[in-house]
Every structure is written in C-alpha cells, then in structure tokens.
Amino acid sequence: MKIEEKTQEAEAYYMFEKETVERFPDFFEGFADQKHVSFEKFLLELPAKPVVESPETVYIHRLHKLESDRYALRKVLFLQIEKTDDGEAFIAKIPWLDIFGIGKTKDEAIREFELSLIEDYEILKEEKDRLGDYLRRHYETLTKIIRELPYVAKSEGCR
C-alpha cells in the first residue's frame, strides 16, 4: 500500500471515529480511564440498542457477511443506522464509504445497504477503465472490502 493511500484510509477512519465519538459521548465516557482503548473495542462495546429511541438515535450494526451468492465481505463493516427525519424509515450508511441504503425497518435498511454496496461495485467495475480519480479510488476501496465468489451452477443444466 502506498503512503498516500494509507493516509487516505487513516483519514477516513479518523473521520468515522471522530463522528461516532461525537455522537456517542456517553458511551465513550466509560472508556475514560482506559487511555489506549482501541476504536474497534469501543465499537464492539457499544450497546446493540440504545435506551431512548428518537430520530437522532444512531445504531451501530456490524455487517459480517453479504446476503449474496456472488459476493462476500473481506472485512467486517460498521454501519450507522438512524431514522429518517420523518421517522418513517431507516437509513443504513457508512459515511466515509459514501454508500447508503433505506428501508422501512432496520433490517430492510441493512439489506438495501448491501444491495447498494454491490450495485456500486458492479457499476464502477463496468466503467473501471474510464473512472475519474475520485471514483477510481472509491473502486479500489471497494475491491478491498468485497470479493467476488466463484460461480457455482445451481442446477445440473439443460439436457
């Protein structure tokens, strides 16, 4: 990995950390006596469901795998899930990845996020030889996050 890429990844990670810590000040206080707690540990310790639900409530969902027979995740992703302003739906997103999914329930939003992630990858892969710098870097990030699975025929085919 080049230094430039490492810096970008670290910056994106830092921004995600900063934003999350700002939104979860109470949860972070619990780690005040642990100066060097890793951010991964901090996220793992977050409660699955906050006590008070409001449009501002943000849930963290650990996405371990994709509901797809064509793609798999290379690493666990941390999704932020929050209600839309009208309170009628949920948004699942990863801010630094610039991808989101919307659904009537949290599960539906997560599923929509997965589909958006895959669709984003497929669109950029199709255009990979003519991507601008920003989307080229984004595509490179996606290739580090998801991998294609080998094709497995489901039936024995035609006779």
Using CB under 8 A as the binding rule, the residues of this chain from 84 to 103 that contact other proteins are: 84-86, 88-89, 91, 93, 98, 100, 102
Q: Give whichever of 46 and 114 is closer to other proteins, judged by the CB atom.
A: 114
Half-sphere exposure of residue 100, counting CA atoms within 13 Å on the CB side? 15
What is the C-alpha to C-alpha distance for residues 106 and 112, in angstroms, rounded to an integer?
10
For the chain, give the longest Cα–Cα distance: 69
Instruction: Find out whether 106 and 83 touch, Cβ atoms under 8 Å.
Output: no
Q: Give whichever of 42 and 121 is closer to other proteins, judged by the CB atom.
A: 121
Interface residue with other proteins among 33, 54, 64, 134 (CB under 8 A) is 134
Q: What is the DSSP string of 61-90?
A: EEE---S-SSEEESS-EEEEEEE-TTSS-E
User: Taking CB under 8 A as the rule, does residue 4 contact other proteins?
Assistant: no
Question: CB 110 → other proteins: shortest distance, Å?
Answer: 15
Number of chain residues interacting with other proteins (CB under 8 A): 24
What is the C-alpha to C-alpha distance for residues 105 and 120, in angstroms, rounded to an integer?
22
User: Taking CB under 8 A as the rule, does residue 58 contact other proteins?
Assistant: no
Which residues contact other proteins by CB under 8 A?
Answer: 82, 84-86, 88-89, 91, 93, 98, 100, 102, 115-116, 119-120, 123-124, 127, 130-135
